[in-house]
Every structure is written in structure tokens, then in C-alpha cells.
């Protein structure tokens, strides 16, 4: 099909046919022109229309002017209340902030509840830089030999236990290398910062002694250096595909599988059940301890 510029006559015909309720494809068929040409023509008309904010959103702007309060009634609250109480045109929250940035309404950035902080930029990169400078996150090859002797509690190994495929729910297992004591945490997401916060809060809540942490290369543990930093300990990362470097953790995960088989959905598993499973495993006599339980071994330290 040859593309030519629309004549004024064609434009009038398009407007008339569209006003009659015909689709763009039907109009293009009748006038024997491409429907994309009609689409671009209508889009061009729409862009040329300059909508006056005060005319279209006059009621909303008046409502915003009367009700906005930086302490108790933010922009988001004003938009939400206006939508519920009025049936007039209401902009989105993002649109209102665009007006503020472009100085199109009475509100200014200084009147907003939250302001951008000035000064030195901080963020997660600052933590990673701190880890590099203070050697908080290290490869397992640099882990001291005395940790291998298992003579003191507090050296932990951490891993995740997954359930069904394509599920976000998982179990975080923490094992003490010396006493083989295990703690289990229900995790609903695989976000690295969520996992980091979950482990840190659990360690503090249960007063778990920590002197070092050994973890695998799962993406959910990428931010665990933040916990190591806050606890003042070293974090040792295993080599890829070397689960034997966390042999204690893998062995205890196998015991957990006795209660929660592979492929079992973890959505129905709650933290209370995991506490019971951990208690059963810790209370179990172990051959390595001359058939004493983890609780009995722990009481000797």
C-alpha cells in the first residue's frame, strides 16, 4: 500500500466516520487507507490539545487546597479521599507530584511531608564497601583452621531448604558446627535483604551465640554480609558446587527431610511446626556424641 499525506478532505471524512462509532479498521477499509495512518492522525490531534489543569481538575485542586496538611493529610490521602467522596475528575498521585515538580499548582516541594535529604549519599553500596575494607565477607579458603576443630560453639553454617518448584516459600536452617544444634526459620520470599533481616532478627530473638558464619552461594544470602557486619563477625562463602564444605549443614538438612520430604509444599508449614521439628532433632541421640543429644552436649559448654 502506498503511503501518502492525508488531505484535509480525508481528515474530515475520518472525523465523520469515527464520530458515527465506526472502528479505525472499518474506516480504513472504507477510505482505502492504512488503519495505522488513522491511528497516528488521531494521536497527533490528542497531543495538540492543551488541557488546562484548572479547568479539568478544578474541584480536585480546590479539595487539595482545603484539606492538604503536611502532618496529617498527605497528597496520597487527599487523592484517596477525593476518589471516595467525589465523582469528578481525579488525577493519579504520580500526576500530582509531577505538577508539584513542574510548579503547576500551589504546592511546592518544601511543603511536602517527606523531603530529599541533602548531604552524603548512603545506601547498600556503603555497606558492601565497608565489607571490602574490613574483610567481613571472605572465601572459605581463608577460614581459620581452629574452626575446623569444632572446639567452641558459635561457628554457624547457614543454608536454605526448598519445597515445591516455583514456590517462594523456603526454610532457612542454621546449624552450630560444634554442638550440631539446629534452628529453622520459615521464609516467605527469596529477596536477599529480606533473608538477611529475617536471620538477623531470629539470631537476636533467640540469643544464638555467633562467632563466624559459613554460607553457600545462594542468591538469597548475597546480603548476609550486613548481618555479619552488625554482629561483628566474619562471613565465609563456600565455593560454587561444593556443598561438602558445609557438611554439617547438609547432614542436618537431611534430618529435616525426614519430617518434610522433598517436593512437599512449604506454604502450609508455619514457624511453630518448624520449632517442633528443630526440638525433635536437637533432642535426638546422636552416634557422634556417644548417643547423647545436642542439648546434653550444649550443657557442657
b/e per residue, 285-298, with b = 16+ CB within 10 A? Answer: ebeeeeeebbebbe
| Element spanning 186, H or E | strand 182-187
The packing angle between helices 35-48 and 8-19, to 10°, is 90
User: DSSP character for 6?
Assistant: P
Identify whether the C-beta of residue 226 lies closer than 8 Å to the C-beta of residue 196.
Answer: yes
User: What pLDDT sits at residue 15?
Assistant: 79
In the sheet that holds 170-176, the strands lie side by side as 137-139, 234-237, 212-215, 155-162, 170-176, 182-187
**Could you count the other beta carbons within 10 Å of the beta carbon of residue 28?**
20
| Element spanning 173, H or E | strand 170-176
**Could you count the other beta carbons within 10 Å of the beta carbon of residue 176?**
26
CA angle in degrees (0–180, nearest 5) for 39-44-49: 130
CA–CA distance, 140 with 238 (Å, rounded to integer): 5
Q: Which of 38-42, 179-183, 190-194 has the lowest mean pLDDT?
A: 38-42
pLDDT at residue 193 greater than cutoff 70: yes
| Three-class secondary structure of residue 25 per DSSP | helix
Question: Which of 183, 188, 179 has the alpha carbon at shortest distance from 159?
Answer: 183
C-alpha cell of 192? 536477599
**Could you count the other beta carbons within 10 Å of the beta carbon of residue 274?**
21
Residue 84 half-sphere exposure toward CB, CA atoms < 13 A:
6
What's phi and psi for 156, nearest 5 deg?
-100, 150
Provide the whole-model pTM: 0.56
pLDDT at residue 166 greater than cutoff 90: no
The residue that leads in pLDDT, 92 or 121, is 92
Confidence of residue 48 (pLDDT cuts 50, 70, 90): very low
The residue that leads in pLDDT, 234 or 27, is 234
Identify whether the C-beta of residue 265 lies closer than 8 Å to the C-beta of residue 244.
Answer: no
Confidence of residue 103 (pLDDT cuts 50, 70, 90): confident
Identify whether the C-beta of residue 237 lies closer than 8 Å to the C-beta of residue 140.
Answer: yes
Helices then strands (H, E): number in the chain? 14, 6
Amino acid at each position: 500500500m502506498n503511503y501518502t499525506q492525508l488531505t484535509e478532505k480525508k481528515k474530515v471524512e475520518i472525523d465523520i466516520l469515527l464520530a458515527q462509532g465506526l472502528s479505525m479498521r472499518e474506516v480504513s477499509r472504507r477510505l482505502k487507507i492504512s488503519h495505522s495512518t488513522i491511528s497516528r492522525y488521531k494521536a497527533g490531534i490528542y497531543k495538540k490539545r492543551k488541557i488546562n489543569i484548572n479547568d479539568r481538575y478544578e474541584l480536585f485542586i480546590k479539595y487539595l487546597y482545603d484539606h492538604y496538611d503536611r502532618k496529617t493529610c498527605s497528597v496520597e490521602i487527599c487523592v484517596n479521599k477525593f476518589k471516595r467522596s467525589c465523582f469528578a475528575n481525579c488525577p493519579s498521585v504520580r500526576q500530582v507530584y509531577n505538577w508539584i515538580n513542574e510548579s503547576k499548582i500551589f504546592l511546592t516541594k518544601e511543603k511536602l511531608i517527606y523531603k530529599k535529604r541533602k548531604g552524603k549519599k548512603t545506601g547498600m553500596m556503603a555497606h558492601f564497601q565497608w565489607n571490602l575494607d574490613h574483610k567481613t565477607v571472605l572465601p572459605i579458603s581463608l577460614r581459620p583452621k581452629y574452626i575446623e576443630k569444632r572446639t567452641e560453639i558459635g561457628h554457624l553454617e547457614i543454608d536454605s531448604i526448598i519445597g515445591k518448584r516455583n514456590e517462594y516459600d523456603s526454610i532457612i536452617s542454621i546449624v552450630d558446627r560444634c554442638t550440631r544444634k539446629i534452628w529453622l526459620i520459615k521464609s516467605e520470599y527469596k529477596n536477599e535483604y529480606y533473608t538477611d533481616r529475617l536471620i538477623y532478627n531470629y539470631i537476636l530473638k533467640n540469643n544464638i551465640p555467633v562467632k563466624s558464619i559459613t554460607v553457600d552461594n545462594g542468591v538469597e544470602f548475597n546480603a548476609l554480609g550486613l548481618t555479619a557486619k552488625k554482629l561483628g563477625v566474619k562471613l565465609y562463602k563456600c565455593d560454587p558446587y561444593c556443598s561438602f564444605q558445609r557438611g554439617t549443614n547438609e547432614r542436618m538438612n537431611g534430618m529435616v527431610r525426614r519430617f518434610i520430604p522433598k517436593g512437599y509444599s512449604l506454604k502450609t508449614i508455619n514457624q511453630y511446626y518448624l520449632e517442633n521439628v528443630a526440638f525433635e532433632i536437637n533432642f535426638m541421640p546422636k552416634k557422634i556424641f556417644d548417643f547423647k543429644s545436642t542439648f546434653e552436649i550444649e550443657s557442657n559448654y
